[in-house]
């Protein structure tokens, strides 16, 4: 796994920290591997570079069904952090009515934890965005995690009423690398969209 910090052997709490990090990575991977139900396609989801804001992504969800959907988006970062992008402030999922289109955006930044790696010519940083679509209002805020280096004791997971049978997932990934200039992120770095909606 890239960008997992090393733990010095001489560190007094090496083993407790290792246990915390292993638990953190297990929780992170459990969210990364969540799979919802298959077959729901009466909506449209897309993302693009936000107009005039090259350090931001714009996401658009349009409900083309005859019923309400509820949406939540999480970002899984390269530093093994999980944050809720939409709705903000850890709120429950947002209702999208039939034929309604909902846009939101996310700011792209390089974590301070990754700055030591950016001098490497092959440096790249991939962020994964997971959109959860449900037929009822649901909270996914309990899936949030701090970055791995900030992790102490990750909270336990509690049920939020969303099982694989009643939520759907749309994935997209975004990679920042050194191939294109993007000064607003970091000098001599840029970004390249590497995937859109993943089936």
pLDDT 10s digits, 36-55: 777 767 899 988 876 666 67
Please indicate, yes or no, if residue 95 is contained in any of the structural domains: yes
pLDDT at 34 over 70: yes
Average pLDDT along the chain: 78
The pLDDT assigned to 197 comes to 43
pLDDT at 198 over 70: no
Q: Provide the CATH number for the domain around residue 127.
A: 2.60.40.3880
Please indicate, yes or no, if residue 160 is contained in any of the structural domains: no
Please indicate, yes or no, if residue 80 is contained in any of the structural domains: yes
Number of domains in the chain: 1
Please indicate, yes or no, if residue 6 is contained in any of the structural domains: no
pLDDT per position as a tens digit, 87-128: 988 889 999 999 999 999 888 777 777 777 777 777 778 889
Please indicate, yes or no, if residue 100 is contained in any of the structural domains: yes
DSSP summary character for residue 132: E
User: 116: which 2 tokens?
Assistant: 């030591």
Q: 15 falls in which pLDDT band (50, 70, 90)?
A: confident
Q: 180 falls in which pLDDT band (50, 70, 90)?
A: very low
**Could you give the CA distance from residue 59 to residue 97 in angstroms, rounded to a whole number?**
17
pLDDT per position as a tens digit, 137-179: 999 999 999 988 776 655 545 434 455 447 889 888 887 776 6
pLDDT at 184 over 50: no
Contacts of 172 (CB under 8 A, 6+ apart): 47, 128, 129, 131, 195, 196, 197, 198
Q: Could you list the residue range(s) of the whole structural domain that residue 142 is in?
A: 38-148+165-182
Q: Are strands 168-177 and 43-50 parallel, antiparallel or unpaired?
A: unpaired
Please indicate, yes or no, if residue 122 is contained in any of the structural domains: yes
Contacts of 78 (CB under 8 A, 6+ apart): 2, 3, 111, 114, 125, 126, 127
Question: Any idea how long the chain is?
Answer: 199
Please indicate, yes or no, if residue 25 is contained in any of the structural domains: no
Q: b/e per residue, 85-122, with b = 16+ CB within 10 A?
A: bbbeeeeebbebeeeeebebebebebeebbeeebeeee
Please indicate, yes or no, if residue 18 is contained in any of the structural domains: no
């Amino acid at each position: 796994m890239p960008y997992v910090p090393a733990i010095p052997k001489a560190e007094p709490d090496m083993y407790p920290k290792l246990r915390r990090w292993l638990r953190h990575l297990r929780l992170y991977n459990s969210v990364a591997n969540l799979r919802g139900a298959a077959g729901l396609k009466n909506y449209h989801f897309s993302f693009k570079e936000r107009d005039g804001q090259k350090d931001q992504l714009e996401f658009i969800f349009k409900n083309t069904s005859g019923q309400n959907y509820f949406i939540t988006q999480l970002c899984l970062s390269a530093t093994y952090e999980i944050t809720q992008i939409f709705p903000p402030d850890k709120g429950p999922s947002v209702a999208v009515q039939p034929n309604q289109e909902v846009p939101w955006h996310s700011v792209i930044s390089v974590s301070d934890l990754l700055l030591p790696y950016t001098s490497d010519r092959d440096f790249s940083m991939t962020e994964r965005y997971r959109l959860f679509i449900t037929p009822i209002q649901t909270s996914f805020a309990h899936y949030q995690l701090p970055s791995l280096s900030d992790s102490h004791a990750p909270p336990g997971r509690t049920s939020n009423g969303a099982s694989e049978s009643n939520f759907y997932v749309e994935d997209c990934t975004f990679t920042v690398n050194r191939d294109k200039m993007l000064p607003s992120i970091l000098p001599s770095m840029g970004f390249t969209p590497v995937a859109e909606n993943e089936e």
